[in-house]
Structures are given as C-alpha cells and as structure tokens.
C-alpha cells in the first residue's frame, strides 16, 4: 500500500499529513512548532510525531514553506549583481549596491533599439564577482525579444561561473524594472533554496523515504523539485496557497472563499471553478513589486498568538505576535506564579507596558546595539522578565521604544495574553495551561470590570469581527475598513451577505463560527482535518501551467516586388488622392507572434493565429508531461482577448491567447 506525505511550515506551526493513495483518506497528521530561521528542525519534529510504519511506503512528498518569504522580508538573501539593459528610469531605492545599467534593449515589436554594450557588462561582472553569489539581468522589452538577456547570461556565466537569472524566464508581463526585481529576488534565493532542498532530500533518504518530491507555488500549483531549485521566487506565499487548495479539496468545493486563521495571521483567498483567483499585478513581498503570479489574498496580523493588550478601557488585538500565557506556563516552570504576582505601575500605558507581558531572549546574536538597547538586553535572559522586573533592575523606567526595537531585531520574544488564552478560559481549546490563561484574563478583565469569562468572550468577539472584516475587504475591493466595521457593528440596519461558501481552516477555528454567523450572512464550513488543511493543500495542489501568447498587428513597408504599379489610370484622380492611395498600397499588415519560446512574423493573420494556438497547446503539454502527467490527465483551457477600436472590421490590433493546463501529478491524492 502506498501513501503520500504533505508538509507545510507555517508562521507558527509546521503541519504534516499522511494520505492513503488508494482512497485519499487522511490516515495521520501531526503539528510541531515552526523553527526559525531554518524550518527544517520543525519539519523533522512534525515527521517524528508520525507513525514510522507509514514512512517506508511514501511515494510522493509535497512541501510548502515560508522560507522564501521570510528570507526576503528579513533581507537575509545572498548578495546579487543586478544588470539592467536599456533606457531605464533608475529609482532611488534599489535592492542591491551591486548594479549597472547598460545600453541595449528592444521596442514593443521586439526590434533592437540600441546595440547591447556587452563590454560594460563584462567589466561589471569581473569587478563584483567576488562580492556576489549570483547575477540577475532584465532587458527592456525582453518579453518581446530576450536576445540581449540571453547574451548577457552567456557572457557572465562564462566569465564568473555564477548563476544568472533572466527576467523573461520568470515573467512575460510588461514592466522591465519589475521583471528586474523578480529576477534579483529569485537569484538571491537560489543558494538558500538549494541548501534547504538538499537537506530535505538527505533527511528523507535517512528515513528510507524514496519518493517523488514536489513543492507548492504561490499560485496554488505544484512543481517538481528541479524547477523549484531554478525558480524559488515562485514559492513565496506558498503557505496561503496551500491553505486555499486544501480548503477547496477538503470541502469538495470548486468555488469558495477561504479563511485560514493561523497563529501569526489570518489569510483570505478565493477559489473559482477549481482555480485560485490570482493577483492581476503580481505578488508584493517585502515592499517589492514583482511579476510573480500569486494568489490574490487579504492578510491581517490577527492570529491565535496576536497580543491582546489594553490602553485605557480599549481592548487591542495585535498586530504583534507573542507567546501565549498558557504555552509559556508549560515552557517555563514557575511562570504561572510569577504572572499571578506581577505588577505594573501607572496602569496600561502602551503595548509593552502590560501586567500580562513578559520578555525572553530568542538566542539570536546581537549586532550593533544602541547603548539603551544593550542596557535592557543585559537584564533579559532565559527566564521571563516583566516590565516591573526591568524597572527594578535598571533603577529607572525602561524605554518602551527600546524594547520595541529589540523585538523588531528578533533579539527578544514577548509573552502575553492572546486569543488562544481566551479560548482556553472559555474551554473551547485546552492544549496548554488553562489556569495561566485564566489568571491573565482575570488581571486584564479586572480593570474593565469583567470577569475572566466575560473578558475572554469579548476578546473572541473582537477577533471574529477582525476576521469578518478581512473577508469583506477581500470580496469588495476598495471599500474603506471603517465602513465595513460600521456594518459589522450593526449600524444603518444593514448586514453583509456572501453568496459563496466560506471554508475555515486553522487549529481551533471552529470556535469562531457562531460569532461569524452573527456578523455575516454566509455558509461557514469547517471541514474535517481543518487543523492541518494547509498540509493537505501542499499535497493535493494541481499541476497548473499558464502560457500567454500575443499576436500583434503592425503596418510595414512593402518590398519593391510587392509594391503596386501605378499606371496612367491613376492620373485621372486628384493628385492628393493619388498620393494617399499610393502610400496605403505601399504598406501591408505584418503579424508578430510573441511567445515564451520565440518571436515569429507572419504575413497572414489566420496563419499567425493557427501557429499561436498550436504552439500554446504544445508548450503547456510539454511542461505537464515533463512534470510526470499523462496526456489523458491534462485539461487545457483557452481564453482569447482581442484589442480593436469600436466598429473595427479589420483584423484585431492585438490578440492575447492564454492557455491554462490543469492536471493532477501522478501518485497524488484524489479524495
């Protein structure tokens, strides 16, 4: 009997599931805390909690991870040399100190604008080769003609032997600078991804797992491990993509909205007719606009580990993530008593001055600390320390901004009351220390004249309202958040209604269903295995390949042989009409086909269209077969968009063909 293994390394937890291939049943699942900065130990812990009897029969492994996203967000990628070819407008902010802009590039028809300055490229490559680990190149209109990018790649690779990533290899969309950023981010991820994937392969080999290995992309599709090594940028946001695919699969719904309430954040996305809804402009990560095809999603910093804190009589949710009191009590013996007797002078002044907040070192190595930061950091160790403890140790009031800076630098981790604690008090989720959670709710609720249960119920309602707000903000783009909140609060005698099912994923997500139903009229579904839905999604992602081909019409001069002979008959017409008619006859239509593989010209529109349609299907089919799919398991959908003025009767000025191949990888799950 054969099985498949799905693993998802999320922001807080790493989930693993084993699925029986014969009937698609989830036979076992596990959760472990995600480890930073290397997610591999967390993955090992999740696998260790599975029955080893299944592992020898694993034939397919699929992984989704936050590794690429975190690397970009934390600016810990490898140094890259960026080469921009063409008349770029260079922005003030660039992602690297090692860059050059050189002459070259093409126009929108793929014709060369300027000769490529290869000498300048080679001089730059030799100058920085010892300072960078890879190069990225983006040429003006390389999506219409990539010959300059390919020439740069060949020359730089021969000179330095470093990896070189081209913009056109990752995107056929317009935007040379955005393609440059995409290529740059991809290049800096290659060494990290290579090390991570090799470590995973060795780990599976040591456990006797001989399996086909896939990784989930941020558009909800899966790729073989070889392509993941070449294009790691496409695995950013693979976690939310896994959740979306898992939600659709577990609920057996081809069209649905998905809400994934994790420990760190809440993600909202949508599936339509079996395909994820994609962002029209590409993924934005770490503030950089890319041309990576990714699911469209709404993300907020509301999760099970969001910090619940007071300022005056206002309950605030997040945005910072903390260790829940109930979990801290299990990790640190004696913490419960410390919490019970903690005091803070002058009430709740800000997020870092709370009776229920403590600080602990993370183990990250401190670099370039300011004097104030160093002084505070010295008094924070391996046991939780409160603001009051720091006040006594420093003999002065610790700077909340310095504490905040230490948290941002990941040198200290905060402990505090969270929605997870509230659910422990209410008895709806009791994995950790209920009494510690109850003490926290008592301390915070006391100042609001609420008992622990009432305070926790109010926290739960606030979290549900945040989740509902995220859902509506996703479905109705552009609506102000304050307007959404007014409706959710029951003002103006109105209520939101959602016409498609809403699937909920996450550990104790079922606890929020009734609160959500009171806020929004919708069918909320919590499927079986919702707590590990993202790991299921990592496993059941479809093989999806998108290919875009553009046919562009342009007028070009006729050759001498094609030009019409103007005889005496034309002299009967007025001179200006003769000249205008002659000029029109001296030009003809030419049709240029732009595809990921080549650029080709035709004299007849029908021939160009026939060629494009055949090429699009062939490119999709070749990719899907190379990914291990049989022809009978592949469906290809085609959409056509024509650009022409109103009332136009001639051939279209542009025709855009989009081919989407859909299939299921061999040995994958079919529940």
Where in the chain are the domains?
Answer: 80-187, 306-457, 543-663
The larger pLDDT score, comparing residue 601 to residue 668, is at 601
The C-alpha atoms of residue 14 and residue 345 are separated, in whole angstroms, by: 39
Question: What is the model's pLDDT at position 85?
Answer: 95
Check residue 586 and give its pLDDT: 61
Confidence of residue 134 (pLDDT cuts 50, 70, 90): very high
Average pLDDT over residues 242-250: 88
64-78, 466-480, 571-585: range with highest mean pLDDT: 466-480
d(CA 355, CA 324): 14
Asked whether residue 161 carries a pLDDT value surpassing 50, the answer given is yes
| 319, 471, 287, 363: CA torsion to nearest 10 | 40
Average pLDDT, the chain: 84
Peptide bond into 109 cis (omega under 30): no
Q: Per DSSP, which regions of 492-564 are E strands?
A: 496-497, 502-505, 520-521, 524-525, 543-557
| Digit-coded pLDDT (tens) for 382-416 | 899 998 889 888 888 888 888 888 887 778 889 99
- Residue 71 belongs to what H/E stretch? helix 67-73
Instruction: Please give the average per-residue pLDDT across 52-73, as a whole number.
Output: 80
For residue 579, what pLDDT is reported?
41
pLDDT of residue 613: 93
pLDDT digits (tens, 9 = 90+) for 608-644: 999 999 999 999 888 887 766 677 778 888 888 888 8
Backbone phi, then psi, for 283, in 5-degree steps? -70, 140
pLDDT digits (tens, 9 = 90+) for 194-232: 888 888 888 888 888 888 788 888 877 777 777 777 888
The CA distance from 8 to 14, in Å, is 6
Q: Which of 70-84, 114-128, 339-353, 585-599 has the lowest mean pLDDT?
A: 339-353
For the ranges 17-21, 86-90, 229-233, 630-634, the maximum mean pLDDT occurs at: 17-21
C-alpha dihedral sign at 364, 366, 370, 374: positive
Instruction: Identify which has the larger pLDDT, 104 or 289.
Output: 104
Give one DSSP letter per residue of 355-369, joined into a string.
TT-EEEE--PPP-S-
- Cα 599 to Cα 107, 206, 549: the distances in Å are 13, 47, 10
Where do runs of H (alpha helix) occur along 526-604?
Answer: 533-540, 575-585
What local confidence, expressed as pLDDT, does residue 255 receive? Answer: 94
Partners of residue 600 on adjacent β-strands: 593
Whether 317 shows a pLDDT value over 80: the answer reads yes
Q: Are 267 and 218 in contact (CB under 8 A)?
A: no
Specify the range with the lowest mean pLDDT, choosing from 65-79, 443-457, 473-487: 65-79
Residue 158 has pLDDT above 70, yes or no: yes
């Amino acid at each position: 009997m054969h099985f498949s293994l799905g693993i998802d390394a999320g922001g807080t937890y790493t989930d693993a599931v084993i699925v029986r291939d014969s009937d698609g049943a989830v036979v076992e699942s596990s959760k472990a805390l995600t480890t930073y900065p290397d997610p591999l130990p967390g993955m090992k812990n999740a696998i260790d909690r599975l029955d080893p009897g299944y592992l020898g029969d694993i034939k397919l492994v699929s992984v989704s991870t936050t590794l690429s996203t975190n690397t970009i967000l934390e600016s810990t990628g490898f140094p890259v040399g960026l080469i921009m070819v063409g008349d770029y407008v260079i922005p003030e902010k660039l992602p690297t100190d090692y860059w050059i802009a050189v002459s070259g590039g093409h126009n929108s028809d793929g014709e060369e604008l300027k000769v490529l300055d290869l000498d300048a490229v080679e001089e730059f490559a030799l100058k920085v080769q010892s300072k960078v680990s890879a190069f990225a190149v983006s040429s003006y209109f390389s999506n219409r003609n990539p010959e300059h990018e390919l020439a740069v790649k060949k020359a730089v690779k021969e000179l330095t032997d470093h990896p070189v990533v081209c913009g056109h290899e990752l995107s056929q969309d317009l935007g040379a600078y955005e393609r440059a950023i995409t290529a740059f981010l991809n290049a800096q991820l290659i060494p990290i991804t290579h090390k991570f994937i090799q470590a995973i392969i060795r780990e599976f080999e040591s456990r006797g797992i001989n399996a086909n290995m896939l990784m989930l992309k941020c558009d909800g599709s899966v790729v073989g491990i070889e392509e993941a090594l070449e294009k790691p940028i496409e695995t950013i946001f693979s976690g939310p993509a896994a959740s979306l695919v898992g939600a659709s699969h577990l609920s057996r719904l081809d069209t649905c909205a998905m809400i994934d309430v994790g420990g760190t954040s809440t993600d909202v996305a949508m599936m339509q007719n079996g395909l994820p809804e994609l962002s029209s402009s590409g993924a934005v990560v770490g503030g950089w606009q890319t041309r990576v095809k990714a699911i469209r999603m709404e993300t907020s910093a509301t999760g099970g580990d969001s910090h619940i804190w007071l300022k005056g009589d206002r309950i605030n949710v997040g945005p910072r993530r903390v260790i829940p009191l109930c979990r801290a009590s299990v990790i640190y013996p004696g913490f419960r008593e410390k919490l019970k007797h903690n005091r803070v002078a002058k009430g709740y002044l800000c997020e870092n001055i709370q009776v229920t907040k403590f600080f602990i070192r993370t183990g990250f190595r401190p670099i370039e600390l300011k004097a104030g930061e160093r002084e505070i950091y010295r008094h924070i160790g391996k046991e939780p320390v409160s603001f009051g403890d720091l006040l006594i140790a420093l003999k002065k009031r610790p700077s909340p901004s310095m504490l905040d800076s230490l948290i941002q630098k990941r040198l200290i981790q905060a402990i505090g009351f969270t929605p997870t604690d509230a659910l422990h008090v209410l008895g709806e989720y009791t994995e950790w220390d209920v009494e510690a959670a109850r003490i926290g709710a008592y301390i915070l609720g006391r100042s609001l004249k609420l008992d622990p249960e009432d305070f926790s119920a109010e926290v739960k309602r606030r979290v549900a309202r945040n989740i509902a707000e995220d859902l509506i903000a996703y479905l109705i783009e552009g609506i102000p958040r304050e307007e959404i909140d007014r409706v959710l609060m029951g003002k103006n005698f109105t209520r939101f209604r959602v016409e498609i099912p809403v699937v909920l994923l996450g550990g104790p997500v079922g606890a929020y269903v009734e609160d959500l139903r009171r806020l929004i009229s919708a069918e909320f579904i919590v499927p079986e295995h919702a707590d590990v839905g993202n790991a299921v999604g990592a496993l059941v992602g479809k093989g999806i390949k998108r290919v875009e081909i553009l046919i562009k019409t342009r007028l070009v001069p006729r050759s001498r042989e094609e030009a019409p002979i103007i005889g005496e008959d034309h002299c009967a017409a007025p001179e200006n009409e003769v000249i205008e008619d002659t000029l029109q006859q001296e030009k003809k239509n030419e049709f240029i086909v732009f595809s990921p593989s080549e650029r080709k010209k035709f004299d007849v529109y029908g021939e160009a269209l026939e060629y494009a349609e055949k090429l699009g299907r062939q490119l999709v089919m070749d990719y899907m077969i190379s990914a291990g799919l049989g022809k009978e398991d592949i469906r290809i959908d085609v959409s056509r968009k024509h650009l022409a003025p109103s009332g136009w009767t001639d051939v279209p000025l542009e025709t855009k063909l989009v081919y989407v191949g859909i299939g299921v990888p061999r040995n994958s799950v079919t529940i």
